Amino acid sequence: MEQSVKQQSGSSVAASAGESVCRRLADYETVRLSEAGDAVEIIDQTKLPGRIELVSLRSAEDIYDAIYRLRVRGAPAIGVAAALGIYVLAGQIAAKDYGTFYREFVRRKEYLDSARPTAVNLSWALNRMQNVVECHKGESPAAVLGFLKQEALAIRQEDEEVCRRIGEHGLMLLKPGDGILTHCNAGRLATCRYGTATAPIYLGQERGYHFRVFADETRPLLQGARLTACELQAAGVDVTLICDNMSASVMQKGWVNAVFVGCDRVAANGDTANKIGTSVVAAVAHYYGVPVYVCAPTSTIDLNTPDGAAIRIEQRPEEEVTEMWYRERMAPDGVKVYNPAFDVTDHTLIDAIITEHGVARAPYEQTLAGIAGKRMAEESEK
Ligand code: MRU
């Protein structure tokens, strides 16, 4: 296999073609702070599965762009990248006094927060970081920076633990040999480890459950084909790639025992926004009596949003539908294109929402509020 090394904005690429790229993925972190603490390092996910390209992000524009262009993506990973990113940017603020530092911090934070609107983890992580600055009001910028680093690293560390706990709760809903259908990528590339929807699959794999996984390719950006199929195949999971319009077919044949998906925002009534096409999968699963499980860290639950209608859905460029990933344009010039990045799955189609604090079932207004309470109780014990 050819091994190419490419330099890009001060970072390197470790890459070869095809399956060996996927096998090597586990050697790299989805998102982390550079050793010197002056950059966010990511795997550029737009280059997968062709090659593993590691990129160092130092400027506000680079971090914003990496999130907007889905170089780093998936709700939890976006949150971690933003937390590490705002720490890196805070380190570049020249101010000597708290007031100037605070104003400059908030300006940069709001800029990063505007990169993508649907995943609540972005503003959740940035608000946590701002809270740290506010809790240390009046202290020197150097001292505040130390606390910001601790918080950013804590957000990253917690993500691993949260996903593992989601995996344990999810695994209890499955039996050895089950067929699982997943949409988009809610895997380790969308988090720091384990993923959310894939966490039960990874834990089951370690424990000999021999699941059969169907990964929707996930048009238009192919996160299922490029990312989920890649990471599950590398982990030795029995994964079969299907086109998005094949989910009814595999369910009709009885090959799917459960649907596991991630999400970008859970509203107070249990409606969830996830990658476009999730609601079709959920409706089809409902028809065939296949349970639909949404995996959500509590950082993805937004009790301030009453229902799915209030979730802002990101609209993406037309080219993603008409030409991206094709050798040549596959639509007539000038055709109208509608390209929402997410859709809302109605809570009535969701059998359970699996969090690190347990499994919530309808009525979601009550059970999600209960889960949020458990999270607050755990935090106050720390
Ligand atoms: O546009 P993306 O690739 O960021 O969309 C990602 C998803 O929809 C994931 O399912 C969601 O963020 C959950 S990731 C654990």
Q: What CATH number should be reported for the domain holding residue 341?
A: 3.40.50.10470
60 shares a domain with 157: yes
DSSP state of 312: P
Binding site membership of 263 for ligand 1 (Cβ less than 6 Å): yes
Binding site membership of 190 for ligand 1 (Cβ less than 6 Å): yes
Number of Cβ atoms within 10 Å of the Cβ of 35: 8
User: What is the 255 CA–ligand 1 centroid distance (Å)?
Assistant: 24
Domain count, the chain: 2
Query: What is the position in ligand 1's atom list of the atom closest to the CA of 195?
Result: 15
User: What is the 262 CA–ligand 1 centroid distance (Å)?
Assistant: 7
| Residue whose tokens read 């570049």 | 92
For 210, phi then psi, to 5°, come to 50, 55
Query: What is the position in ligand 1's atom list of the atom closest to the CA of 341?
Result: 1
Range of the domain at 135: 3-163
User: What is the 186 CA–ligand 1 centroid distance (Å)?
Assistant: 6
Residue 311 in contact with residue 381, Cβ under 8 Å?
no
Number of Cβ atoms within 10 Å of the Cβ of 289: 7
- Which of 68, 121, 184, 342 most suits a substitution to test ligand 1, by most atoms within 8 Å of the C-beta? 184
CA distance 308 to 6: 43
178 shares a domain with 153: no
User: What is the 2 CA–ligand 1 centroid distance (Å)?
Assistant: 31
263 shares a domain with 149: no
The residue among 136, 163, 190 that closes a domain is 163
C-alpha distance from residue 307 to each of 311, 332, 374 (Å): 7, 37, 22
Atom 10 of ligand 1: nearest residue by CA position:
262
Number of Cβ atoms within 10 Å of the Cβ of 317: 11
CA distance 77 to 83: 10
Enumerate the β-bridge partners of residue 345.
Answer: 272
Token code pair at residue 213: 């996984």
Q: What confidence score (pLDDT) does residue 20 get?
A: 86
Binding site membership of 152 for ligand 1 (Cβ less than 6 Å): no
pLDDT per residue over 205-247, tens digit each? 999 999 999 999 999 999 999 999 999 999 999 999 999 999 9
Q: Of 177, 179, 99, 187, which is closest to residue 138 (Cα–Cα)?
A: 99
309 shares a domain with 196: yes
Q: What confidence score (pLDDT) does residue 382 get?
A: 75
172 shares a domain with 278: yes
Three-class DSSP category at 352: strand
Query: What is the position in ligand 1's atom list of the atom closest to the CA of 121?
Result: 12
CA distance 1 to 180: 32
Given CA atoms 194, 199, 205, 210 in this order, what sign does their dihedral have? Answer: negative
16 shares a domain with 88: yes
User: What is the 226 CA–ligand 1 centroid distance (Å)?
Assistant: 13
369 shares a domain with 323: yes
227 shares a domain with 196: yes
CA distance 42 to 280: 31
pLDDT per residue over 153-165, tens digit each? 999 999 999 999 9
Query: What is the position in ligand 1's atom list of the atom closest to the CA of 75?
Result: 12
264 shares a domain with 137: no
| Residue whose tokens read 């344990």 | 168
133 shares a domain with 185: no
The residue among 95, 128, 163 that closes a domain is 163
Binding site membership of 76 for ligand 1 (Cβ less than 6 Å): yes
Looking up residue 114, the CATH number of its domain turns out to be: 1.20.120.420
Atom 15 of ligand 1: nearest residue by CA position:
186
CA distance 372 to 291: 24
Three-class DSSP category at 260: strand
185 shares a domain with 259: yes
User: What is the 193 CA–ligand 1 centroid distance (Å)?
Assistant: 14
Query: What is the position in ligand 1's atom list of the atom closest to the CA of 221?
Result: 3
Please list the alpha-helical segments (H only) found in the chain.
Answer: 19-25, 60-68, 75-90, 98-113, 120-135, 141-171, 199-206, 223, 229-234, 247-252, 278-288, 319-322, 364-381
- Which of 68, 73, 78, 244 most suits a substitution to test ligand 1, by most atoms within 8 Å of the C-beta? 73
Residue 257 in contact with residue 175, Cβ under 8 Å?
yes
DSSP state of 173: T
CA distance 164 to 379: 18
Q: Of 150, 218, 155, which is closest to residue 187 (Cα–Cα)?
A: 218
What predicted TM-score, i.e. pTM, was given to this entire model?
0.95
Enumerate the β-bridge partners of residue 179.
Answer: 212
- How many Cα atoms are found within 13 Å in the side-chain-facing hemisphere of 137? 3
Given CA atoms 83, 324, 49, 194 in this order, what sign does their dihedral have? Answer: positive
The residue among 134, 163, 192 that closes a domain is 163
Catalytically active residues, by annotation? 264
Residues with pLDDT less than 50, the chain: 1-10
CA distance 198 to 202: 6
172 shares a domain with 159: no
